Structure 1
Amino acid sequence: MDEPELLPRSPLPCLLRDFEEPDCAPLDCTPWTAMSALQKSIRRGRTQIALAAASTLLTQSPERLWRRLACIAFEDIGLGDVEVTALTTAAIGGKRVRATLGGEWKVASFLITRMANATKCRAADDLLLVAENHPTFESQRLQLGFSMIPDLLRIVASTDPLPVRALAAWFALGTDRRPSPRLARRHGDIASLFAAVREILPPELVEIAWEGHRRSGEVLPIFMALLAPQLRHELTSVHDDEVPVEIMVGPIPGWCLDVYTRPGRASLATLIEGSTETARWVRAHIPPRQRVQFLGTIIFRLEGQSSQRRLRWPIADELRRAVDYECNGAHCRDATEILRLARADLGELNAIRTELMEVSSHDS
């Protein structure tokens, strides 16, 4: 299929013309911590921290900045603000594109400011997690991995449950470029999938999804497009998520230290070895090698995904509920109790984070 040229029709050049670049000093942290701070600050509408994290990445690892912004566009903004999602997709085309728009920092700071203030929709990411992990769809994960492309495309266009259609689209797209431990690895037929969804989905969203997948290799763009017709018939509202008490750990909030950062993993491991109710529950229910990752996922449910201006609608709310409570692995079929315990122990986790960061600062 022909690749649509998104940038020539994008309003991005006009919008950037009058945008004044902010001055922003980098954070004193690793690229991994900066990536966490960038994404979580955008979710929470914390523009200054997000800009500082972006400045860090642009200095230390610019390719990580653009990959992360591409991810954030579909994981956290999506249908909440389709224009911002499209603008970001247009801007990740490469250095030469951004040079014509005023340079790396001008484009990045503009996009981050827009993203932090945008309405957020995490439904595409929640759909991915339900399709990949929910026990209800275990048989479909096995069966669809061996289905022929025409059969997968028929399911994508069917009235089957949304996670089943998402799985069919995922296998049709191919699971070899971004492998999942829960799905059979196989080649897809990208052109056939997008030709099929053009027949059933809004063309402008299919165009954005095509560009988003082509440039990032991620499956979330097509999931966003699959969700769009569902949103059209739903009552929506916009609300801020309730967020736990925040503390600063050096130059960053404690919630930046997640399971994908070294100090975040160390903090979780220390908590698990302690005497809190959370620690006792995790040691009683979760095998040793899985404990840090499991608890990191639970902490993400409580603080990492918290969003300012989240788009609320029934399907998105149900997907989020299923992810929070029912997609945490074979050793935790219902996360109600561990979520309650971990929420009560977030203060202890933050104290551990603070102590570890102080030790690290003294050692360096």
Structure 2
Amino acid sequence: MSLVLPPFREDLLHDLLSSISGEPVSTGIEQDGSAPTLLPIDHWTVRSLLQKAIRRGDAEVAARAAVTLLALRGPAIWRRFMVIAFEDVGAGSAEAVIRSVELCLDPGRREQLGGDGPAAAWLARFLASVPKDRGADFLICAAKDHPDLEAARQQAGSCSVRDRLAMMLDPDMPLADRATAAWFASGLNQPGECRLGRGDLRGLMDAFLQLGVPADLVHATQLTARRTREPITLMVPLIWRAAFEGEYPDTIEEPVPTAMLVDEVPLYAFDKHTRIGKQAIGRLARENEAVRACLEEHVPEYRHRDAACMAAFYADAAPVARRLGWQGSAATERLGTESDMLRAGVTVEAIDPLLAAVRANLDHLNAIRAEIVRRTLGRG
């Protein structure tokens, strides 16, 4: 398979976004000729904000986060965009994933949109506007850690790459088992880990083509997997096949938690991946009676903050406004959620009560976050 990118057509990008969103396309330049203004936050917080705003469909916040991250981290933003496209859009819009990879890998294509700044703002708005599917994240989390997949990990880890590919192609195997086999067949370790031996990424891409996954999506997956080394990318072709092999999936509009702003920054940006977010969630676990009671009943004391951080992530940072509803999507989400919550010290029986307690007390969490943010900025 060649790694040469196909011809770029700006009109295709514009037509694609218009057809999906039903709205005019913005190039990232405001009506007065200026670019979106920068946000007064550090690069860790803006990384978080960019991804969460895209999930929620908060297009203008996403555009401001994009130009801020570009100003702070430069070309690193393009790798970040590729990971977001696979993690949060995925099978929800395969076309958006493909075009995002093209734009991120070719500076000449970004010049056609006015340069890196306008291209970053445009891409943030674009990804915010299309339907999402977070199944890739759920599947790779389950493949790595869910106890129910230990047998699949043992099987995939004890056979040849050829046999792993055969497992992945077996239509009678559950999707999560096939995803585990695909991960092992790739040889792609999670950054900072060394769990897998040598794989065959090219062979895995050929296997995706055998499944009937569109060649452009397979190509984009190969490019992104090689550039980012993120195994989450490998899950999208499998999910696309599962989502589109039967009846055409629905696009479901869902409410997301109300966003509270401090200095124009939505507080949902301060999640478990940020210093302020971890501090605020730790206080919620201690100060909120319902959350504290749930943790004390179900979670060992030394894991309280880990459990609360993961629950807050699923309550406020993970929700998407427009998602793809396909047969098996709910089961995949449940499997990934269980994997993360179990890893944080929460028993299966306690997952739903803890998530419910945190969701019911997001106002309290936002009040804590607002207090810390204002104090940190010297405005409290």
> What is the TM-score normalised by the length of structure 2?
0.87
Distance change >3 Å, CA 129–CA 106, structure 1 → 2:
same
Instruction: Decide whether the 8 Å contact of 1:325 with 1:336 is kept in 2.
Output: no
Aligned to 2:164: 152
Q: For 1:204 and 1:184, how far apart are their aligned partners in 2? A: 29
2:68 match: 56
Q: Pick closer, same or farther for the CA change 1:179–1:108 going to 2, 3 Å.
A: same
Query: Is the Cα–Cα contact under 8 Å of residues 110 and 116 in structure 2 kept in the other structure?
Result: yes
CA shift, 1:73, in A, is 0.6
Counterpart in 2 of 1:123?
135
> Aligned letter for 1:191?
R
Cα shift readout 1:149-193 (whole Å, capped 9, x = no counterpart): 11111101112111111111111111436355xx83323221222
Q: Deviations over 1:308-349 (max 9, x none)?
A: 221111211221133335651154213111111111221111
Of the structure 1 ranges 168-177 and 146-155, higher mean CA displacement relative to structure 2 is found in 168-177
- Equivalent position of 1:40 in the other structure: 52
Unaligned runs of 5+ in 2: 16-24, 30-34
One-letter code of the match for 2:99? L
Q: How many residues align?
A: 360
Q: In 2 relative to 1, CA 282–186 (structure 1 residues): closer, same or farther, beyond 3 Å?
A: farther
Alignment of 1:267-286 (within 5 A): 267-286=280-299
After superposition, the Cα gap between the structure-2 partners of 1:348 and 1:209, relative to the gap in structure 1 and judged at 3 Å, is same
Residue 114 of structure 2 is matched in structure 1 by 102
Classify the secondary structure of the residue corresponding to 1:201: coil
Tell me whether 255-264 or 85-94 shows the greater mean CA deviation.
85-94
2:365 pairs with 1:352: no
* Correspondence for 2:347: 332
Distance in 2, Cα, partners of 1:94 & 1:293: 40
Note the C-alpha offset of 1:99.
4.2
Which residue of the partner structure matches residue 196 of structure 1? 207
* Correspondence for 1:343 among 345, 355, 359: 359
Aligned pair 1:114/2:126, yes or no?
A: yes
Question: Hey, what does 1:265 align to over in structure 2?
Answer: 278
Pairwise CA distance, 1:279: 2.1
Confirm or deny: 8 A CA contact 2:87 2:137 kept in the other structure: yes
Tell me, in whole angstroms, the C-alpha distance in 2 between the residues paired with 1:90 and 1:223: 19
* Mapping 1:230-269, distance limit 5 Å: 230-232=242-244, 233-269=246-282
The verdict on how the C-alpha distance between 1:302 and 1:224 changes in structure 2, with shifts beyond 3 A counting, is same
CA offset digits 1:277-309 (Å, max 9, x no partner): 212322443345543332222112112121122
Deviation of 1:97 (Å) = 5.4
4+ runs deviating over 4 angstroms: 13-19, 94-97
Q: Deviations over 1:215-245 (max 9, x none)?
A: 2222233211112222221342222223223
Alpha-carbon contact 2:8-2:109 (below 8 Å) kept: no
Extract unaligned runs of 5+ from structure 1: none
Q: Indicate whether 1:185 and 2:196 are aligned.
A: yes
TM-score by length of 1: 0.90
Q: Which residue of 1 aligns with 2:88?
A: 76
